[in-house]
Amino acid sequence: MFAKILIANRGEIACRVIRTARRMGVRTVAVYSDADAGALHVGMADEAVHIGPSPVGESYLRGDKIVAAALATGAEAIHPGYGFLSENPDFVDQVTAAGLVFIGPSAASIRAMGLKDAAKRLMEKAGVPVVPGYHGEAQEIVLLASKAREIGYPVLIKARAGGGGKGMRRVEHPDDFSEALSGARREAKAAFGDDRVLVEKYVDKPRHIEVQVFGDIFGNVVHLYERDCSAQRRHQKVIEEAPAPGMTPALRKAMTEAAVKAAKAIDYSGAGTIEFIVDASQGLKADRFWFMEMNTRLQVEHPVTEMVTGTDLVEWQLRVASGEKLPKAQSEIALSGHAFEARIYAEDAARGFLPATGTLHHLKFPDTAPEGASMRIETGVRTGDAISPFYDPMIAKLVVHGKNRQAALEALGISLSQTEIAGSTVNTAFLAALAADADFSAGDVDTGLIGRHQQALTAVPPPSSEIVAAAALAASGAGAQAPTRDPWSSLAGYAHFHAMARRTRLRYGEDDILALVSMRPDGRFQVALDAPYDSALDLRAAPRLARWPGHVTVFSGAVGYSFAVPDPLARADEIAAGADSLRAPMPGLVKLVRAAKGETVIKGQPLLILEAMKMEHTISATHDGTIAEIATEGAQVTDGTVLVRFAEEAYG
């Protein structure tokens, strides 16, 4: 076994690898960028090496710096985690050329599966079923459009490199093919440095089911059953589970055998995932699944497999990479119970899942698992850490296990309702709504479920009068510790014949709220609310809430209602986005500008494309008008930056 390894990653996966390595007595070296100097993974590792500025191209994607750090610290092997350099065969070559061990598959195996078109041709030869489509080398638009017509609409344009939904477009009609192709190519080029695509038949009710495989250098390959990753938004997974709901013995046998066959076809060693698309329009059948791609690394969702099989896949990775045989034979791997993983992101679900930034002023996960269940929290952040625009906005993975799917699903809902995060917009309410969705609860899930139910899943009810009153009480200085502190000192003020009232102002969205907070003789507080609430409530016990600079967040189930608390001594900023301008909804890069200064545009017309987290977001005109100013291509903008300003005559 290795004495010391370097982890070429950050965040929760780096922390995850460190925990297993520490348990095995293996020392660890972390690497970090400027933005991560105080990160959790840096503090957890035995050693840490600075590798460059915050942008990934100058730090976590610099294979030369990472190899140099490993050599300088005496590490024997490099664990890539996932993302970044984990599926880069050139990096594997760098590692092995330096006399180090890459904890993962060979460069040859990664290259064999690295490009979707070549991988599918290889799988066809190996007898693994593949999705009908065009997987050839030619990339002329006329040819691709012709192939799309032959396949039959709707079709799916997919980047041949990478994954995560980047460079992917569904096309319903031939007239939309050219525009979709251009967008997919731009996104693929930005994310993977390769703008080539393939075109496939779009399956009407697709299930995304994948099989975890593991191989060693002795030619042994096993599977650890399947995971269902069909709950996706924007082609990216949000809740995964194992085993797949509704799985039949016949389909499981066919899929797992195909997965093992695929891994053996490329002499695979280490952890890998074979992803299949399954047509669920007529139930799960053994002849209605097709190979999509192979991820030649550990998956984000690997914990659900660990929960249902009782394995530690990171330990397996270390053992196999150090030259050992697989820890278990296929006959020794059994399924037990059911597990879910929910990905908690800093993102605004109500605004199309736009990524968010901010400081995590309050971060609290459940202390214990719900009765009859087990739980684990995978995170790389702590209270006070910042979610930056440089990296994936994942905050944590909440993983639960129960004796069956219903028990695990109930545990997931309870655990999400007990999670408290303040300081950034997060998706916990959306995740809880998805877990409670009737179709999802019944296991009737496909990749289009979130899109069909998106409005209901992302709708957050307005705060009740009780929630507003609790926020006002906390803002007045009396709420957070009301049951235990002396109310006279907390509410500060004395009147001989009547209770002293404190005027408090809050802002929730566009609403300005006025409240009067006073103490009653029995120790309760009375909160009188102005319009639109027009109510008076008596409060005694403090609810779940967090006070942070200029704000109060009150938690109700999985929803966090955040109220701004204006400073009465500070001058308010009167500059805001009005109807005369469009502002950036998040930090990003102005990728493409489609209009010009002086041009007259109509409502709904695309004006520019903003790229954030390697995904494209179209900014369209909200009304008819004439453009007075527009951002330039290549500009890096922050959240709230004016992108488009309209001429005043548009409102005359």
Annotated catalytic residues are: 297
* Alpha carbons 413 and 435: distance in angstroms, whole number: 6
Q: Are 634 and 611 in contact (CB under 8 A)?
A: no
Which residues in 496-520 are b (16+ Cβ under 10 Å) and which e?
eeebebbebbbebeeeebebbbbbe
Report CA-CA distances (Å) from 367 to 376, 377, 433, 582: 10, 10, 22, 43
Q: Are 633 and 593 in contact (CB under 8 A)?
A: yes
3-class DSSP assignment, residue 199: strand
Distance of CA 556 to the CA centre of its chain: 23
Q: Tokens representing 395?
A: 């905050």
* Alpha carbons 56 and 33: distance in angstroms, whole number: 8
Report CA-CA distances (Å) from 177 to 134, 139, 180, 424: 15, 14, 5, 37
Judged on CB neighbours under 10 Å (0-12, 13-18, 19+), 365 is middle
Q: Tokens representing 397?
A: 């993975």
Q: Which of 142, 147, 205, 145 is nearest to 177 (CA)?
A: 145
Bond before 587 cis per omega within 30 degrees = no
The DSSP result for 98-156, as a single string, is TT-EESS--HHHHHHHHSHHHHHHHHHHHT--B-SEE--S---HHHHHHHHHHH-SSEE
* Alpha carbons 29 and 42: distance in angstroms, whole number: 8
Q: At residue 343, what is the residue type?
A: R
3-class DSSP assignment, residue 495: coil
Q: Which of 32, 56, 17 is nearest to 392 (CA)?
A: 56
Cα angle 273, 274, 278; round to 5? 130
* Alpha carbons 550 and 620: distance in angstroms, whole number: 32
Starting at the edge strand that comes first in sequence, how are the strands of the sheet with 236-242 ordered?
289-295, 270-279, 206-215, 221-233, 236-242, 338-345, 394-402, 374-379
